[in-house]
Amino acid sequence: MQLTHEEIQFERKTFPITLVCDNIYFQQNIGSLFRISEAFGVENIIFLGKDIPLTPRKINKTSRNTHLHVPHVVIEKTEDLIAHLLENNFEIIALEITNTSKPLKEVTVPKDKKIALIIGSEINGISEELLKISSQIVHINMFGKNSSMNVVQAASIALYEFTS
């Protein structure tokens, strides 16, 4: 028998993970990132970019009100984000396929540091400036012909790996 939301007894937890969204603008993705972040106990979300469409009416369809429960900020400039991440001693992990990335299964998630998981824009991925400051660059092994997946799906897989 399927359980209702009230019957589910999952332990409530928050992990020291900040999801960093590098110029993600599609409202369905933004709403879904709130929802998956809330589900995996992400501490907060940083949206990098100008004019990020955080209109609750537009993102609520996919966020299902989780945008009300996950702390989030917008940082407009890449250099301000970089300063914030470095000053606060984050372990910066980029989720991107590069010539030096390693499979997600090989990620080292330190237990004593805050994690900044960077995910890239729907069009261009993660900027070179953010890749350069990343402690680790990881990718998700895929076995079909396609070499990329939706940013929300990728974030979901990474967050599951980090929190399980």
| Ordered structural domains, the chain, with CATH | 17-163 (3.40.1280.10)
Q: What pLDDT sits at residue 57?
A: 79
Q: What is the pTM of this model?
A: 0.93
Q: What pLDDT sits at residue 156?
A: 98
Q: What pLDDT sits at residue 132?
A: 98
Q: What pLDDT sits at residue 130?
A: 98
Q: What pLDDT sits at residue 11?
A: 77
Q: Residue 97: which of 120, 78, 72 has the closest Cα?
A: 120
Residue 140 CB neighbour total at 10 angstroms: 17
Q: What pLDDT sits at residue 36?
A: 97
Q: Cα(112)–Cα(70) distance, rounded to whole angstroms?
A: 22
pLDDT average per 10 residues of sequence, the chain (164 residues) = 76 91 96 96 97 85 87 98 98 96 94 96 95 97 87 97 93
Q: Cα(155)–Cα(122) distance, rounded to whole angstroms?
A: 12
